[in-house]
Structure 1
Amino acid sequence: MGALLVISLVLLIIYPFGTQGVSLVNVSNGDYVGKVLDCGVSQWLGIRYAAPPLGELRFEPPADPLPETGTQYAYEHGPICLPTGVLPSERSKANFSEDCLFLDVYAPSRAHKQSKLPVFVYIQGGGFNSNSHPRLNGTGLVKASDMGIVVVTFNYRVGPWGFLQNIAEFGGDPDHVVLGGASAGASSIAWHLTAYGGYDQGLFHAAVGESAAWGHVLTAKQARYQFDDLVVRIGCVRNSSEATLTCLRKKPYEEIQMNGFGTPYPGQSLNPLFMWGPVIDYNMFYLPLIQAFKTGKFIKVPVIWGDDTNGGSIFTSPFTSTVAHSNRWMRTQYPFLTLRKLWLLNNAWKNTVKEQKRCPARDCWREQLSQVYGDMRYMCPSIYMSAAFPDQGVNNSWNYRWNVEDPDQITAGVGVPHVTEIPALFGPAFVPAPYLTVPRTYREGEINEKAVDVMQKYWISFIKTFDPNTERAEGSAQWEKFDRKKLSRLRFDTGGKTDMEYVGSELARRCALLFNKVYPTKIGPAKLE
């Protein structure tokens, strides 16, 4: 049902135009006029980077955008790609569409074709099942860079609609492109690094991933049941693959949308959180991530990886009251977990609240489950990938832990949850509601206002120089490169404080267990041991 997106960068030239609050950009498919904001940043919203994926192009890799007639006014965001199994309400319908392949660009208004500014291409998350951070506004990041970078954000197809394969990007220096992303967006970066066995086409030159997600991965053949289930649900069973695909392409999008929900993995009875995702197709992707990074089959560029302290907390159910609930839920997400592997997890991740409250209680196993899931899906993969680069002789790898506490999140029982640093990166004023919640303490005048400045300066420094220290905030810690022996990482703390720390022995032991005895290093059918 499609492959993961690959960035194919066509750098466009920015031409500031006149003094009427507009800026003209000449691109391969036409001219686009954007707005010049009072703050000195220009924005172009809703630029097509591919032909509408409709009709015969439904479920196909994106085609080049068609030539536009006349000048296009890029003043409004394009529609958001349809999320898995949800039909938008009448009220929100205008914000979503199958025709959703649009990008937004934010650049200094004074930029011109000789500027050669670093380009930051940001891939939003959503578990490959939604665009969960759409319409992030890059204005604040451009301003924080002293008008020294160009920021690009974009939508991409998710769920059964497929994943992108080509995308035109914007502005700046084609030899200085940095990929960024969070959650599934950071996972996309990992897949980009390992695509085609790590063949470097020179499309990007550094990468920074926030909470990269390692989910269960199938081969294209193993994932066939997902396609078959959708075909049966929608009534498109035909006597050939071509006829089946023709039927699917003729169906109203609403019918596919309402039948595109998840399916349990073979042998399981419950739907996983995120079923649709990348597959091993033995063309673009040959190896699961763990094997690709272990064997050096990845592009060698400067990288930053990291995660939040409580990355699993928002995903697990408060009704997790027994070890059986914990184990069943984990098998729903990771069907390769054999009985022995579950036993190993149960012993390595003890239930620390068991002695504090009577079990089974409504949520007495939730903390244990959150820790297992957070470490397995986010924390340990970030550490593993950070170590892979120096292991392969690339001495430009950094790791972090976001430990900035917000009282509301602490009260809600989620600690420092998954990708809560996104509003810090883009700036609290530039994260649109309702798609992402901004912790109130990140706002101006609040306790974590400084954490915003500190994070932005580390990231901007990396975008500009491939080193997070060059332009870091005054008083912030020198961010040491990742050391395989010390397992060194930067800790972001409440109030904008930073310090280097070393991954504790307990977490290191758990991660080693995952990579040596739990994660499958080869793709194959799940079985019990």
Structure 2
Amino acid sequence: MRAVFVFAFEVLPTIILLLASTAACVQIAVNVTYSEYVGTQLGSGVSQWLGLRYAAPPVGALRFAPPQDPPFNSVPQAANKHRNWCVRRPVSLTWEDCLFLDVYAPTNATTDSKLPVFVFIQGGGFNDNANPNLNGTGLVKASSNSIVVVTLNYRVGPYGFLANRQQSVANNGLRDQRKALEWVQKYISQFGGNPNHVVLGGASAGAASVAYHMMADKDGNRKLFHAAAVESVSFGTVLTVDQAHYQYDNLVNRLGCASSDSAASIACLRSKSQKEIADKDSDIPYPGSSTRPIYMWSPVIDGDFVTDYPYSAFQNGKFTRNMPVIFGDDTNGGAGFAPSRISSLRDSNQFIKDNFPAITLAQLDTLNKLYPNPHASTCPSMGCWRGQAGNVYGEMRYMCPGLYLNDAFDNYNDHYQKGTSSWAYRWNVEDKDQMAAGLGVPHIVELNALFGPTNMYYTGQVPKSYWPGMTNAAAVQVIQGYWVSFIKTFDPNTLRWGGSAEWKAWKSGKGGSERHQRLLFGTGGKTAMEEISRGSGLAVRCAYLQSIGTSLWQ
């Protein structure tokens, strides 16, 4: 007999149950076989279903385990509020049960609508869900109510990326995402979406996740998505399970779970409360480094989900090919990561070493030549090398990997197959407050425009210039125009905003005449194409960083 699980906080009030049976509300009562979810009509032509459970609660024996099917529930569930998101150290103790997703769709959609679907994976360095509860209504409305948007939570920190040689399965945070993508394939048609037209998006670690899903489906057999559009793909340090075992040892030692019996140590970890784990879960340096990295927990090479370093996989064509892709970054993507304490060349080199422990002295020496300090005249003073360190980190972790992926898809896509182009961009939309703070145009700031400033969870942190009537309000319309066009047609140009530039593919021409070019998003909604010539500073720096990427375990 199949077990029936009923969660009291999800049970609908009687009056909502009665309304769900009327003709007006049938459209928002959606059956996904294991449960019925009743969403909300927003009155703007968009309906939403919040907090849909796509996997079983990863608690108890399922902590540190791959995601399992969601439990059956015979009572209709109110899908009218966001659920827990996945974090490492919360202010409350109710976050571990966090495998939920949200769906936003046109109210008039039917099961026969077959609308294009945009699934977005949030970032957070694999250590937090940094962009929780993004509201997809802005993109649905920008499409004239003709797409479906899905956002999701996934496990992070030790809950998602604990690596143990003997007992635990690694990369469960990525497996959560795959479970959500499989959920989309099974059920999105019930919300009006087309499972055969799914565009996968993501920012930062979410963009890196997209790359990992491409690597995991190198033969193209899963068909969980059909195009990708991502912001600031992140190539951080990737350890093997054996190399990452020190993180496991550190956690079990801190929690008093150390044992020669690996099964016993895992059982001990599963017996600990969330608070106990949060209190003891502390980042430590990579072996051989002096300071902890910005992000310690991350995907590892497990021989199953992740079988190679990203640079190596994409160099050798071990990824899903023949799909249209967009990869882009921000002008100053590393500015917010370098600590203010960096006041010497030695500090800068140590910061890079702390985050990329495999780097050699010879490689650091080359980087010092490629990245001279423009503020050296102000030294010695606190932070006078911070800008230089941020430039190295930003291009090493974000910009150059993204451009490498543009190259990989351009090289391996079948150019005789229509709709397999690779597009690149640089977000250079300046906000005066961010400029005054020395951030320039920082990491994934374009999310505020892509989803719309009123649709962010942290609306108080949205740059003021992005709000309606302000300097960069037009940038919102412009990026949404390109993205909606890409989501619907696999081409950012087809339905782009009037007056915006034609977005040319990453590489055009043949042989010696071929040019690498990307779209430049400018202040006030301006757009233009910019070329990255072979001898330019960026091209030279990226060529070097890409050449040493695998040796840096990227």
TM-score, normalising length from structure 1? 0.92
Q: Secondary structure at the match of 2:285?
A: coil
For residue 21 of structure 1, report the CA deviation from its aligned partner.
Answer: 9.7
Residue 334 (structure 2) aligned to one of 296, 303, 312 = 312
Residue 365 (structure 1) aligned to one of 374, 382, 385 = 385
Residue 304 (structure 2) aligned to one of 283, 291, 296 = 283
- Indicate whether 1:520 and 2:550 are aligned: yes
Q: Secondary structure at the match of 1:122?
A: strand
For residue 364 of structure 1, report the CA deviation from its aligned partner.
Answer: 1.3
The 2-side partners of 1:522 and 1:380 are apart by 14
For residue 523 of structure 1, report the CA deviation from its aligned partner.
Answer: 5.1
Question: What's the CA shift string for 1:256-305, capped at 9, x where partnerless?
Answer: 12222212111112110001111111122211110111111110111000
The 2-side partners of 1:72 and 1:514 are apart by 50
For residue 22 of structure 1, report the CA deviation from its aligned partner.
Answer: 7.2
For residue 199 of structure 1, report the CA deviation from its aligned partner.
Answer: 3.9
- Indicate whether 1:508 and 2:509 are aligned: no
Question: What's the CA shift string for 1:461-511, capped at 9, x where partnerless?
Answer: 000010000000000000000117421100000000000001251000000
For 2:353, the equivalent position in structure 1 comes to: 331
Question: What's the CA shift string for 1:59-106, capped at 9, x where partnerless?
Answer: 0011000001211010110111122xx2x33xxx27x51000111110
**Change beyond 3 A, Cα 1:522–1:429:** closer
Residue 377 (structure 1) aligned to one of 392, 397, 401 = 397
Question: What's the CA shift string for 1:396-421, capped at 9, x where partnerless?
Answer: 10000000000000000000000000
For residue 197 of structure 1, report the CA deviation from its aligned partner.
Answer: 3.9
**Change beyond 3 A, Cα 1:227–1:196:** farther
For residue 134 of structure 1, report the CA deviation from its aligned partner.
Answer: 0.1
The 1-side partners of 2:453 and 2:22 are apart by 30
**Change beyond 3 A, Cα 1:221–1:197:** farther
Cα contact 1:108–1:148 (8 A) shared by 2 = yes
Describe how 1:96-495 pairs up with structure 2 within 5 A: 96-162=94-160, 163-165=173-175, 166-167=179-180, 168-169=183-184, 170=188, 171=191, 172-300=193-321, 301-355=323-377, 357=378, 359-395=379-415, 396-433=421-458, 437-483=461-507, 485-495=514-524
Q: Secondary structure at the match of 2:50?
A: strand
**Unmatched 5+ residue regions in structure 2?**
1-19, 161-172, 416-420, 509-513
For residue 442 of structure 1, report the CA deviation from its aligned partner.
Answer: 0.6
Cα contact 1:16–1:111 (8 A) shared by 2 = no
What RMSD over aligned residues (CA atoms) do the two structures have, in Å? 1.7
For 1:18, the equivalent position in structure 2 comes to: 23
For 2:60, the equivalent position in structure 1 comes to: 55
For 1:12, the equivalent position in structure 2 comes to: none
Q: Secondary structure at the match of 1:173?
A: strand
> Match of 2:539, as an amino acid?
A
Q: Secondary structure at the match of 2:313?
A: helix
The 1-side partners of 2:129 and 2:204 are apart by 11
Q: Secondary structure at the match of 1:478?
A: coil
Cα contact 1:16–1:109 (8 A) shared by 2 = no
For 1:499, the equivalent position in structure 2 comes to: 528
Question: What's the CA shift string for 1:188-216, capped at 9, x where partnerless?
Answer: 00111111545431111000110011100
Identity, % of aligned positions: 51
> Match of 1:437, as an amino acid?
Q
The 2-side partners of 1:28 and 1:81 are apart by 25
The 2-side partners of 1:282 and 1:20 are apart by 48
Cα contact 1:21–1:37 (8 A) shared by 2 = no
> Match of 1:237, as an amino acid?
A
The 1-side partners of 2:102 and 2:526 are apart by 32
Q: Secondary structure at the match of 2:515?
A: coil
The 2-side partners of 1:295 and 1:424 are apart by 35
The 2-side partners of 1:272 and 1:397 are apart by 32
> Match of 1:38, as an amino acid?
G
Q: Secondary structure at the match of 2:124?
A: coil
Cα contact 1:290–1:521 (8 A) shared by 2 = no
Q: Which runs of 4+ in 1 moved over 2 A?
A: 15-22, 196-200, 520-524
**Change beyond 3 A, Cα 1:16–1:287:** farther
For residue 164 of structure 1, report the CA deviation from its aligned partner.
Answer: 4.3
Bigger helix fraction:
2
For residue 394 of structure 1, report the CA deviation from its aligned partner.
Answer: 4.2
The 1-side partners of 2:79 and 2:520 are apart by 40
Q: Secondary structure at the match of 1:181?
A: strand
The 2-side partners of 1:392 and 1:401 are apart by 23
> Match of 2:448, as an amino acid?
P
Cα contact 2:342–2:384 (8 A) shared by 1 = yes
Question: What's the CA shift string for 1:101-143, capped at 9, x where partnerless?
Answer: 1111100010001100011000000000000000000011101
For residue 255 of structure 1, report the CA deviation from its aligned partner.
Answer: 0.8
Cα contact 1:210–1:305 (8 A) shared by 2 = yes
Decide which moves more: 385-394 or 141-150: 385-394
Cα contact 1:468–1:479 (8 A) shared by 2 = yes
For residue 20 of structure 1, report the CA deviation from its aligned partner.
Answer: 5.4
**Change beyond 3 A, Cα 1:446–1:103:** same
**Change beyond 3 A, Cα 1:353–1:346:** same
Question: What's the CA shift string for 1:324-344, capped at 9, x where partnerless?
Answer: 110011100000111001101
The 1-side partners of 2:229 and 2:309 are apart by 20
For 2:169, the equivalent position in structure 1 comes to: none
> Match of 1:493, as an amino acid?
G
**Change beyond 3 A, Cα 1:305–1:343:** same
Cα contact 1:219–1:523 (8 A) shared by 2 = no
The 2-side partners of 1:523 and 1:494 are apart by 36
The 1-side partners of 2:217 and 2:307 are apart by 7
**Unmatched 5+ residue regions in structure 1?**
1-14, 525-529
